[in-house]
Each structure stands twice: as C-alpha cells, then as structure tokens.
Amino acid sequence: MRLRNSSVLYLLFAALSVALLVAVVVARGEQQSRRSEAEKLKNPIPSDAASIEEGKKLYGRHCASCHGPAGKGDGGMALSGGTPANLTDETWDHGSTDGEIFVAIRDGTSSDMESYKEKLTEKQIWNLVNFIRSLGPKPAK
C-alpha cells in the first residue's frame, strides 16, 4: 500500500511541476508579446498643454487613488495591498516608453493594477500617457 501512496504522490508532484512550468512559459510568452507590441507603438497624440490637462483629469479620476495625487505611489486605495508604482522616479518597472506605458494602462500589469481598456478609449489612454510623462523624470539634455 505504501508503494502506491508514494507513487501517487510522485505522480501528483510531477503533474504539478509540469503545470507550473507550462504556466511560466506561457506567462513569459505573453510578456514578450506585450513588450514587442509596446516597442512598436508610437504616441499619436502630441504632448501639448491640452493633452496633458486632459490626462491630468483622467489621472485624478482613475489613477490618483492608488498612485497618489502627485504620482509618488502613495495613494490609499491600492488593490490587493500592493505597492503602486512611483511615477516620478527614474525606475519604471513596466517600461518607460510611451508604448510601454500605454500597454501597462490598457492591459494592467498584474493583480495589483487592473486593465483600463474597458474604461478608457485609446485617445484617453494616450492623453494619460502624456500626463504621466510630465510627472516622471525629465530626459537628460
């Protein structure tokens, strides 16, 4: 009987290991696909005062509760107890190009940040990207 129990446990462990490996491979593939898409995206909305102002309004409505009023990651309503990104520092975990920021907003980043593709139009997301860029580090001249 012991042999059977240990065999069942071994098979269960092997099946769980394979399932975990498949999940990791699929997640990496999705992540690479998102990165490739983001690299190709170019912001069609000029980063002018009107776009930044529209993005600021959207930010106040959809983002400030988690990322904080000034984008420092200090909002009180972060999902799942996660730590929202500080949008003003030099470290951007999900990419710093306009396309990467767009994809992060549109698709979400994980269980900590939900997708906004059902809540915002593409134009609204680009305006939000322009506002967020105005918060972040300024490129070296």
Q: How does pLDDT run across 103-116, given as a tens digit for each residue?
A: 999 999 876 789 99
Q: How does pLDDT run across 31-81, given as a tens digit for each residue?
A: 555 567 788 899 999 999 999 999 999 999 999 999 999 999 888 876 556
15/61 Cα distance (integer angstroms):
45
Question: Given this model, what pLDDT does residue 33 score?
Answer: 54
- The structural domains of the chain, with segments of one domain joined by +, span 49-135
Question: Given this model, what pLDDT does residue 20 score?
Answer: 62
CATH number of 49-135, picked from 1.10.3720.10, 1.10.760.10, 1.20.1560.10, 3.40.50.300:
1.10.760.10
Q: What is the mean pLDDT of residues 74-97?
A: 81
Question: Given this model, what pLDDT does residue 141 score?
Answer: 54
Question: Given this model, what pLDDT does residue 79 score?
Answer: 59
